[in-house]
Amino acid sequence: MEQVVIIGSGPAGYTAAIYAARAGYEPTVIAGSVTAGGNLVNTTEVENFPGFPDGIAGPELMERMAGQAARFGAKLVFDDVVEVSLRGPVKQLKTLGDQTFEASAVIVATGSSYKELGLASEKRLGGRGVSYCATCDGFFFKGKDVVVVGGGDSALEEAVFLTRFASKVTVVHRRAELRASRIVAERALAHPQIEFAWHSVVADIHGDGAVEGLTLRDVRSDELSRLDAQGVFVAIGHTPNSDLFKDQLALDSDGYIIVDGPAAPDDPVNAQHQATSVPGVFAAGDVVDRTYRQAITAAGTGAQAALDAQDYLEELAADAAIAAATV
Ligand code: NAP
């Protein structure tokens, strides 16, 4: 029986592990079999994580967090949780590798996954020119023309990154206003290899075995146009990884896990901000956050979740001591 099990190994999961380990709970982190390190593993340079004035590569940042957690006694398990039973005092988790874990407290930090366009051709050409990760696949598009779909920070960072390989990058965005932060947007807008297809969405992706081009639809006129390209990078945001918990924890309409949040001044009961609808289960990072979704904010709520779990475990221990004394 573990005291704390943490599901997920992005900034939230590892920060929760560092805090829980330093509190002496020897937490187990179920880090994922192929996705350990979370989304930052697919990022090139992280320039806004405090403490790294010259930036740091995403994978290296995650390795450092894992090492820091392990140094204080966190156990890292590279497996995937496939089944949970969270109600009651003993939480049970089963993994793809057939391991079972029992814990008094669980911290869910499962993050989010990329959104798809929802086209049949996108599925058919996945891995054959359609990609969701420029840092993973950009190298294969040397001297080619590629498209990036989306107008947020991810899309524009990917667009700029892809100019290292591609001869031309066209950003396809459904509005004429970018969602990306100013510095990222300005870098992309000023780049000589980046063009923009405004007010446009991808209606279809063409190619037999490899991407050859796209049909774009102008959302104002419904007019269709053809764009030749050999690669399509979809960067239209993420959805929370909460499917595993949908029958166990309260989720909002988009699938984000609902947590208590800050206490009202006259509400002495609500002290655990990251508490979910089930006692002893806490959630942190992108799986609870539809607003900020930054590495640093995920790390922050990860720390909060660990402190909340500590509070919960101390209450359990105090209740057990009182019960023992009154026997
Ligand atoms: P995002 O900010 O949610 O942007 C998604 C973009 O895709 C938006 O421009 C959106 O259009 C578009 N979009 C959504 N659904 C679409 C669809 N079905 N078809 C076509 N376009 C669609 O997602 P993100 O760029 O992945 O960023 C997520 C968070 O991570 C943000 O908070 C961002 O600031 C952060 N981030 C930060 C950095 C950094 O600081 N270095 C890097 C990457 C990400 P609309 O604009 O019209 O809604």
pLDDT, tens digit, 9 for 90 and up, residues 232-241:
999 999 899 9
- How far is Cα 259 from Cα 72, in angstroms, rounded to an integer? 27
Burial of 213 per CB tally in 10 Å (0-12, 13-18, 19+): middle
Answer whether 144 contacts ligand 1 (Cβ < 6 A). Answer: no
User: What average pLDDT does this structure show over 138-162?
Assistant: 96
The pick from 113, 122, 158, 174 for probing ligand 1's pocket by mutation, whose C-beta has the most ligand atoms within 8 angstroms, reads 174
- 94 pLDDT band, cuts 50/70/90, is very high
User: What average pLDDT does this structure show over 168-181?
Assistant: 97
- Residue 34, pLDDT score: 87
Torsion of CA 76, 82, 88, 91, to 10 degrees: -20
Answer whether 153 contacts ligand 1 (Cβ < 6 A). Answer: yes
- Cα 195 to middle of ligand 1, angstroms: 18
User: What average pLDDT does this structure show over 140-154?
Assistant: 96
Please enumerate, as own/partner, the contacts of 155-159 that have beta carbons within 8 Å and a separation of 24 or more. Answer: 155/180, 155/233, 155/235, 155/236, 156/180, 156/184, 156/185, 156/187, 156/188, 157/44, 157/184, 158/134, 158/233, 158/235, 159/188, 159/191, 159/194
- How far is Cα 61 from Cα 326, in angstroms, rounded to an integer? 50
- Residue 270, pLDDT score: 63
- Residue 41, pLDDT score: 87
Question: Does an H or E element contain 252, and which?
Answer: none
Burial of 264 per CB tally in 10 Å (0-12, 13-18, 19+): exposed
Q: Please say if the pLDDT value at position 35 is more than 90.
A: no
- Cα 85 to middle of ligand 1, angstroms: 33
Answer whether 219 contacts ligand 1 (Cβ < 6 A). Answer: no
User: What average pLDDT does this structure show over 74-82?
Assistant: 98
151 CA closest ligand 1 atom index: 9
- Cα 153 to middle of ligand 1, angstroms: 6
**Average pLDDT taken over every residue of the chain:** 95
- Cα 237 to middle of ligand 1, angstroms: 5
CB atoms within 10 A of CB 304: 22
- How far is Cα 310 from Cα 205, in angstroms, rounded to an integer? 50
pLDDT, tens digit, 9 for 90 and up, residues 263-317:
777 776 668 999 999 999 999 999 999 888 889 999 999 999 999 999 999 999 9
Q: Please say if the pLDDT value at position 222 is more than 70.
A: yes
- Residue 269, pLDDT score: 64
Among 81-85, 189-193, 260-264, which is the least confidently predicted range? 260-264
Answer whether 201 contacts ligand 1 (Cβ < 6 A). Answer: yes
Whole-structure pTM value: 0.81
- Residue 220, pLDDT score: 98
